[in-house]
Structure 1
Amino acid sequence: MTTVEPARPLAAKRRYTRKQRRLMLIGAAGAVLFLAAGLVLFALRDTIVFFYGPSEIAEKSVAPGTRMRLGGLVEQGSVVRGPGQRVAFSITDSRTVIKVSYEGLLPDLFREGQGVVTEGVFQGGSQFRADSVLAKHDENYMPREVADALKKQGHWQPGDPAAPAASSKPAPKAAP
């Protein structure tokens, strides 16, 4: 006759040691953090750029209603002041022009031919509605991103006295 072992009760669970439970908790927390970081990076893949130039917007075929930053030079002769605090102007990188509408106070140093970065909503075509306008802070400074974009497109001449410096680093001191 063979003996049959009694079946284990269904309520009996495998007991984990404290070390095994801690390792499982750490592993689960690590997996959740890895997944969260991956989702954040995936969501931010196109918005990590500080701003887009007019040519980049045209090349990427940005969808209307997209919130973004637009940077470049204010086109000469394009500033039109409307009733109240409404202002319309064009931003260019000398290849593409985007028309910007803005309602509010412009920075004191805003003027034609200077570098600006605007933040707002792309409306399609070559129209942009800005919520804020950031202008250079003195006559020797241009936002590094604007200067880099102009250099990349070949419109920046470092020796040109009319071209503002792209850095706010102080000049090295002369040796005594």
Structure 2
Amino acid sequence: MANSVRTPEEWQSVSSREFVERLREVKDRSGFAYRELERRAAENGDVLPHSTLASALKRESLPRREVVESFVRACGRDPEEVDAWVRERDRLARGEQYPQGSAEPRGHGGAVESVAPDRQRRVVGWRGSLVGVVIGTAVTSFGWWLASDVPDSAVPDSAPSRCEASFPAS
């Protein structure tokens, strides 16, 4: 029976890991294989590659919003339940938690971000580090080139100095 899995509001997940566990329950109870879910998603106008779905359900991290939406819809859930799953996923992405005994989330609020804030910082940090390494290497190489000494015996007296070669006479 496909509708025997509780909705997100009923179980109030507190972590991404628990959320993904609940998604696995939805898949198991649907009785559909990954390729069948891919086909059903396509019939709904969604793109949900079976490999992406399998990977998302093996992890403990929060799946992308589009994956959750397409997956729950492909499992045959009604639009209200699809919306509930997406709201719960977005709540977790914002870092909100339910207060004890409450069905209302608390936390940061605001607009839903497409990438969790901690992941956003890691991406910016990685790019910043790469830029720093490239700039540092270029500056060091240029400094090394300027500081390198060519022995006077290797340069003929008629050869222009490095400065004269760089700036032609006018």
TM over 0.5: no
Q: Which TM-score band applies after superposition, normalised by the shorter structure?
A: under 0.3
* Bigger RCO of structures 1 and 2 (CA < 8 A, at least 6 apart): 2
- Name the structure where strand makes up a greater proportion of residues: 1
Please, what TM-score do these two structures have when normalized by structure 1?
A: 0.24
Relative to total residues, which structure has the larger helix share, 1 or 2? Answer: 2
